[in-house]
Amino acid sequence: MELIDWQCSACAVEFEPSAETPDFCPICVDERQFVPDGLQRWTHRTELLEAGHRVEFRELEPGLTSLTASNIGIGQSALLVQTKAGNLLFEVPGILDQRAFEVIGEMGGIQAIVASHPHMYGVQSAYSSAFGDAPIYVAAADQNWVQRSSPNVKIWSEPFEPIDGIRFEQIGGHFPGSTVALWEAGADSQGVLLAGDGVFPVADGNVTFLRSYPNRIPLSGPVVQRIATQLASLRFERLYNNFATVLSERAGEIVAFSAARYAAWASGSNDSLT
Closest alpha carbon to 261 in 217, 211, 218, 224:
224
Q: What single-letter amino acid sits at 170?
A: Q
Q: pLDDT tens digits for 248-265?
A: 999 999 999 999 999 999
Confidence at 70, pLDDT banded by 50, 70, 90: confident
Mean pLDDT value across residues 135-159: 98
**What CA–CA distance (Å, rounded) separates 148 from 186?**
32
Tell me if residue 258 falls in helix, strand or coil: helix
Q: pLDDT tens digits for 104-145?
A: 999 999 999 999 999 999 999 999 999 999 999 999 999 999
**What CA–CA distance (Å, rounded) separates 82 from 271?**
47
CATH class of 6-267: alpha beta
Confidence at 200, pLDDT banded by 50, 70, 90: very high
Confidence at 161, pLDDT banded by 50, 70, 90: very high
Confidence at 196, pLDDT banded by 50, 70, 90: very high
Instruction: Please provide the size of the chain in residues.
Output: 274
| Contacts for 239 with CB less than 8 Å, ≥ 6 apart | 192, 193, 194, 195, 199, 201, 207, 246, 247, 251, 254, 255
Q: Where are the domains of the chain?
A: 6-267
Please give the backbone phi and psi of residue 132, each rounded to the nearest 5 degrees, phi first: 65, 30
What pLDDT, on the 0 to 100 scale, is given for residue 71? 87
Mean pLDDT value across residues 187-216: 98
What pLDDT, on the 0 to 100 scale, is given for residue 1? 72
Q: For residue 37, is pLDDT > 90?
A: yes
Q: For residue 67, is pLDDT > 80?
A: yes
